[in-house]
Structure 1
Amino acid sequence: MSCSSGSPRFAVLYDSLPTDVQSAIVQKQLIPLLDHASKARRNRVLSSAAKMHRRHARIPALDLRSKQREVNALLDDLHRDAKRSFVHDRSRRTELLEQTVESVTCWLNDIWRVVYEHNVDFMLAHRCLVFTMNTIDQIGHARASCRCALTSMYVPITIKRRSGKVVKSWEVNGAHNVGEVLEFIWRDLFLSMLATGTRRQIEKIPEMLDDIEDIMGWTSLERLLYGGRKCPHDEYGPDEEWSDVDSDIDEDEDAYTDDDSDLDGPVSDADWVPKLHRRTTPSHAKHWSHRISSQVWQFRKHVHAAMLAVFRSNPSLRLYSALLASSADPQTTQAELTAFLSESATSSPDVFAAALDIHALENNTSAIADLLATHAHLLRPRDAPTHQCAVTTLASDPAYHSRALAIIEKELLDTARTVRAALVSSVFSRLDTLANKTELDAIVKLRSNAAGRQDRVERWVDAVTTPGAVGPNPMALAALVMGIPLPVGPGGGPAALGFGGDGLDGDADPLGYLDLDPNDPDMEDLREEFRPRLKQRFEGWTDVAAAAGKSGAGVLARMYRELVRSMPFLRASDVVEEMLARVSEKPGKQHLIDAVDALSAFVKVQRRKLAASKSEQKRRANAASQTASSGSGPSLHLPLHPHPHPGMPMFMFGIAQTTPEESDTVPDRPETPPPPLEPISPAQANHEYAGPAAPAPLFTFYPGMPAPAPPPAVPTGGGGGDGGGYAGWNGMDDVD
């Protein structure tokens, strides 16, 4: 009884001890006990030890320290090559990158064999995988360097058993996609640990998952369940495609039995041999044994818990959807996540934006309305897409429709005022002077092809431009080309380069530093300050207004009138083009050019819609008046009107003098049928043949019947060189 109760207690104590202490206990306490054990027990222990020795005789050695020294030497060569390439004509960067990637991928097969075939050194293998991923991340995200050599690198990787049988092979296009291979190995590592590891090792799984999330992001946690394959919430770009060749394609269809694993039982045991018809699926691998496969649900629980911990610290819409998809009880998970959001939605701007996204997905209009009513100040300019999605959901509810329209109009006005303020402060500071306003009104009233209009437009743009706002200093440009360091300005940054009278204070990032890596999240704040997405913001809100129905169209009409009032130059496209050409001379102003172009396009569209609406109203009014007049009785006489100018032809069309803004619109006149034909002149109107209108004979021009004789000639003035013509006959010769 004492022996049976002492062994579990010893096991608990032994697992709680450090590794060095465990080794010391084995050496000093357990090994000497064999001398006092019975011969049969001693032989069983020795036989078991010999068997384990034979099994692990060919285990690969994972020397992490040596690998670190090797890779660090290659990274040092990369840094030295980057310095030498400025002097020498050639660079060894591509060659060194290939050597580094090959160095960290050549031992992936050994890592897999250690954890899956030998079921040992789980923590050491995890540290090796972490080191591999850190190395690839380091060489892939080095700033001020081209990533073409890394992203186009061909990396073939194959996982084989000790017997040489292929388990899985990849043909990775781009070294940055090696992480998918690491996720496949990590999944087998965790499953083997759950199946064969000790309690102390299993308790390390949350910490190991946290390491993976810290390096590769939370999406890697979900991809672990699929062995690095795409999952429903992954969004790969075109350069992130990869191909893998499963072993069931080029291998025999015999079942894997894990003959090199401690988990194996007799081959005749059907529980350990998968069925031949089983194929590889995203959540199951063909090479797994039954005991490994049985740990998938336990592993899924650990991954779900790790993702839930990430959501509590950094919630997002994609993570919310992933948690619901991977949960065994989605309703309970949804209730738990919603309760967390209700408590912490207003704790930070990031959490607030995530809460709006999630409530918009779930169509919780009341929660959206409450959040926007109390904490709308937490929204940042970068959160405009989230704000627009939430307002769109709000507008779909009749109870909050008016509130949504007010938000849409406010955001449109704020965006337009931001664009105008940027124009006035950076380039066109004299836009609001009375003389320039008067000149612009005169230019707008001119025809688009009027003589001298283009010269007046150029002179007006010159007049409103801030003195010295454009035109770089030639000496400053020469200094930049020669590589002279930038002087430090009063604000602490580079200044006085001659890009305007105020140095670089109004020029955001003239050297394009923000464009080196447009997807770098660390530069998001700077991009928001120097590259605001004004065009996308304005177009997004116009789309939201258009989706709101007729009331949204009214908001857009009011916005059009406000834009024409505050920025009258938008009415003339040639003026806008000249202004944008002037803005393009300043570095770092492409976002402002795009924003003004979006406003100009909006004004054109709304002006055409307004003209079409007026034309439709006039057409309906004319149609109604004609219907009313026809209802009083048909008229048997053609209307007679005197010729306006006897010396001019009757059928003359006036040409309207259009202004530039009218030339972009449809003609502002109803599309009604032409009026009935009228007599040629007052003299011919009094002729006997120009009396009451009568229907023309239907068979007058029928072949074979003689045509009626022409009426006798009546001399009239202005009838032509032969002394006039006949009313209703020769007088119609000019009408086609």
Structure 2
Amino acid sequence: MGNDYSSKLRRIYDSLPPEAQKDFVNRHLSELLSLSTEKAKHVVSAATGLQKKYSHIPKIDLKGKRKEIRALLTELRRDSKRAFLKEDSNCMEIISEIIETLVSWIVDIWRLVYEHKVYFSQAHAALLYVWEVALELGESSGIGGCKCAVNSVPVDLTIRTSAGELFKQFSLPNIQDMDKILLWIWRELFVSMLAAGESHARQKITEMLEDVEDSFGWRSLSKIIYAGNKDENDNNNTHDHDDYCSCLMESDVEVEEDGDGRYNCKLHACHWSSKHLEQRLHIRDLVLARLCNLFELEPSLDLYLDIINISSRPARQLMKILSVIATNSSSTFAAALSIYAIECQTYRICKLLDTHSHLLRPQDADQYQAAVLVLVRETRYRPRALKIIEKEIQETAHSVRLLVESSFCGLNTESNKAELQRILKLEMASQPRLDRVNDWIDAVITPISAPMHPVVFAAAMMMGLPPGLDESDESDIMSFLDLDPDDPDLADMREEFRPQLRERFDGWATLALEYSAGQALLSKMFITMAEDMPYLSSADVCQEMLNRLSHRPTKEHVLDAFEGLTEFAAMQR
């Protein structure tokens, strides 16, 4: 009965916040010491022993470290301003001091969590702050936005035990690669938490993984398993004095080496004790659980591959999740197509296309093409795949045509059409033909809009009419889209202002050639294109149109798309 009460008390005590724990000890537990002198002495002696044991351990002192680092960052900004007026600068020295301060602190954090197995939550918060500083320092710049100083200061970290034993070194080119060190420390922290029997360790680690994901992105979670590296084969910029072993991780084979119970597994470091080694798969499973939760919220091919690269066991679960959420949105639909394609799931691909092909967006062309490629290679589904390819080539060519006509607005004028037919009958490379091609281009090209007269602009604004974009405005939009080419939030805008039509067209044309009769299909389709766009039949006319487009910076996407179409035409002529 006594054991039941003590177990219950420990569970309740662990669930209390620190302030409540302290209050409980002061109000209730301290009174129990007066019941028995012997027991009281024993408890006080044990407490004194713990106090002595932890009296000389490093202190994290996050508040004090924040103040210290903030002062150095402030001095760095001041130095940058002074350097603008004077030639001398101390930025290299200040940056080096910041890095040395962080490196020294990281070593203390490792000793606390691995050697002393205490302050896990505080250590986690400290590591997040180190990354916050690394990001701020990485984004800082000197005169003219130059980041040479930050990028030229290396990060060298050497970890020794309290006894002075050397077993881990990092040598990184600059602080922007600090994530390798931090993720390695996090793995040490997690395995130490589990080995120490920390109460609710798994729940706490799950919460910490969410923090790491928020700061570093989901790709960092698998790096924790591999000690900060991308995968089990990546081990750049580090030198382990504890030597990592290698094995076929998926089978979780455990091999005895010299009878010391060491595991032949990439999931662990050989400096771990047997207690730490027992936790290595628990860390993996917690990371996998988090990644699977993310997959359920926002599936992607990269995330799927990352999960099965760690372990193939969740593959069936992921497929089940995908079958439920594949048609929830356009993004999940595209992800499902790409995953089914890589797994050659032809039946699932056809089923999706039969019921929800309307969810496909222009920017999903890569995923769509990957899925159709799988269908082309299977005889049963090849006729359907060829119909899809023909339809997509027609639609993409039509989109290119509309783009070209936006830059050559006179193409559909009857007089210009007739003139083009007369030009095509002239001898190639003759001077009369060259002159008439130039005159024809002058007649069909869309003129560059002049700045709107101030009075007209004011009248348009008063009437609520949009003034329209001039060349400089379009250039500003393109520059904005270039700020982050991979930002998914800008995908729709990129498709509107800079559609990747060349890549799309080339992709479908290449797919057609996967089948023996594909070339005949392309030749037939070119005849139709040449009827709609007669200038495609003439290399010199197309080249002059390309030359004119090249002089307009905001029309690069038009130039690129039309160039791809003319190259296709050249191969078919």
Q: Deviations over 1:50-91 (max 9, x none)?
A: 332332222111121233334445555667788888888898
Deviation at 1:358, TM superposition (A): 1.3
Answer yes or no: is the 8 Å Cα contact 1:223–1:229 preserved in 2.
yes
1:452 maps to what in 2?
Answer: 432
> How far apart, in 2, do the equivalents of 1:582 and 1:79 lie?
47
Deviation at 1:99, TM superposition (A): 5.3
Deviation at 1:133, TM superposition (A): 2.1
* Distance change in 2, residues 1:292/1:598 (3 Å): same
Q: Deviations over 1:602-655 (max 9, x none)?
A: 111122xxxxxxxxxxxxxxxxxxxxxxxxxxxxxxxxxxxxxxxxxxxxxxxx
TM-score, normalization by structure 1: 0.68
Report 1:66-105 matches (<5 A): 66-73=64-71, 100-105=98-103
Partner SS state of residue 554, structure 2 = coil
Deviation at 1:436, TM superposition (A): 1.5
2:134 maps to what in 1?
Answer: 136
1:244 maps to what in 2?
Answer: 238
Answer yes or no: is the 8 Å Cα contact 1:360–1:368 preserved in 2.
yes
> How far apart, in 1, do the equivalents of 2:553 and 2:51 lie?
70
Q: Which amino acid aligns with 1:337?
A: L
Partner SS state of residue 157, structure 1 = strand
Deviation at 1:545, TM superposition (A): 1.0
> How far apart, in 2, do the equivalents of 1:93 and 1:588 lie?
39
Deviation at 1:534, TM superposition (A): 1.4
1:283 maps to what in 2?
Answer: 267
The reply to whether residue 423 of structure 1 matches residue 421 of structure 2 is no
Answer yes or no: is the 8 Å Cα contact 2:225–2:267 preserved in 1.
yes
> How far apart, in 1, do the equivalents of 2:87 and 2:433 lie?
54
Identity score, percent:
39
TM-score, normalization by structure 2: 0.86
2:418 maps to what in 1?
Answer: 438
Answer yes or no: is the 8 Å Cα contact 2:114–2:192 preserved in 1.
yes
Q: Which amino acid aligns with 1:244?
A: T
> How far apart, in 1, do the equivalents of 2:177 and 2:516 lie?
45
The reply to whether residue 359 of structure 1 matches residue 340 of structure 2 is yes
1:185 maps to what in 2?
Answer: 185
> How far apart, in 2, do the equivalents of 1:90 and 1:522 lie?
43
Deviation at 1:139, TM superposition (A): 4.8
1:298 maps to what in 2?
Answer: 282
Match for 2:294 among 310, 315, 329?
310
Identify unmatched segments of 5+ residues in structure 2.
Answer: 244-256
Q: Which amino acid aligns with 1:597?
A: E
> How far apart, in 2, do the equivalents of 1:51 and 1:356 lie?
62
Answer yes or no: is the 8 Å Cα contact 1:116–1:189 preserved in 2.
yes
* Distance change in 2, residues 1:18/1:346 (3 Å): same
Q: Deviations over 1:356-415 (max 9, x none)?
A: 111112211121112112222222222111010001111222222222111111111121
Q: Which amino acid aligns with 2:15?
A: S
Match for 1:387 among 340, 343, 368?
368
1:542 maps to what in 2?
Answer: 509
**Rg larger for:** 1
1:53 maps to what in 2?
Answer: 51
The reply to whether residue 601 of structure 1 matches residue 567 of structure 2 is yes
> How far apart, in 2, do the equivalents of 1:430 and 1:562 lie?
21
Answer yes or no: is the 8 Å Cα contact 2:60–2:109 preserved in 1.
yes
> How far apart, in 2, do the equivalents of 1:149 and 1:65 lie?
28
> How far apart, in 1, do the equivalents of 2:308 and 2:40 lie?
54
Q: Deviations over 1:294-345 (max 9, x none)?
A: 1112222211111111111111123223333433x72xx3332222111111
Match for 1:570 among 536, 541, 556?
536
Report 1:212-251 matches (<5 A): 212-231=212-231, 242-248=236-242
> How far apart, in 2, do the equivalents of 1:207 and 1:546 lie?
50
* Distance change in 2, residues 1:498/1:5 (3 Å): closer
Report 1:392-411 matches (<5 A): 392-411=373-392
Answer yes or no: is the 8 Å Cα contact 1:392–1:548 preserved in 2.
no
Partner SS state of residue 404, structure 1 = helix
Match for 1:585 among 548, 551, 560?
551
1:530 maps to what in 2?
Answer: 497
> How far apart, in 2, do the equivalents of 1:9 and 1:301 lie?
28
Answer yes or no: is the 8 Å Cα contact 1:172–1:242 preserved in 2.
no
Moved more, 184-193 or 198-207: 198-207
Partner SS state of residue 131, structure 1 = helix
Q: Which amino acid aligns with 2:3?
A: S
> How far apart, in 1, do the equivalents of 2:62 and 2:389 lie?
58
* Distance change in 2, residues 1:512/1:438 (3 Å): same
Partner SS state of residue 319, structure 1 = helix
> How far apart, in 2, do the equivalents of 1:437 and 1:11 lie?
89
* Distance change in 2, residues 1:372/1:103 (3 Å): farther
* Distance change in 2, residues 1:100/1:563 (3 Å): farther
> How far apart, in 2, do the equivalents of 1:281 and 1:4 lie?
39
Q: Which amino acid aligns with 1:170?
A: F
Answer yes or no: is the 8 Å Cα contact 1:510–1:588 preserved in 2.
no
Report 1:616-695 matches (<5 A): none
> How far apart, in 1, do the equivalents of 2:125 and 2:326 lie?
36
* Distance change in 2, residues 1:150/1:567 (3 Å): farther
Between the two proteins, the alignment pairs up a number of residues equal to 553
Answer yes or no: is the 8 Å Cα contact 2:242–2:271 preserved in 1.
no
> How far apart, in 1, do the equivalents of 2:558 and 2:75 lie?
43
RMSD of equivalent CA atoms:
3.5
Q: Which amino acid aligns with 1:129?
A: L
Partner SS state of residue 159, structure 1 = strand
Q: Which amino acid aligns with 1:160?
A: R
Answer yes or no: is the 8 Å Cα contact 2:267–2:281 preserved in 1.
no
Identify unmatched segments of 5+ residues in structure 1.
Answer: 250-272, 476-486, 608-736
Q: More helix per residue: 1 or 2?
A: 2
Q: Which amino acid aligns with 1:113?
A: R
Deviation at 1:560, TM superposition (A): 1.3
1:645 maps to what in 2?
Answer: none
Partner SS state of residue 199, structure 1 = coil
Partner SS state of residue 159, structure 2 = strand
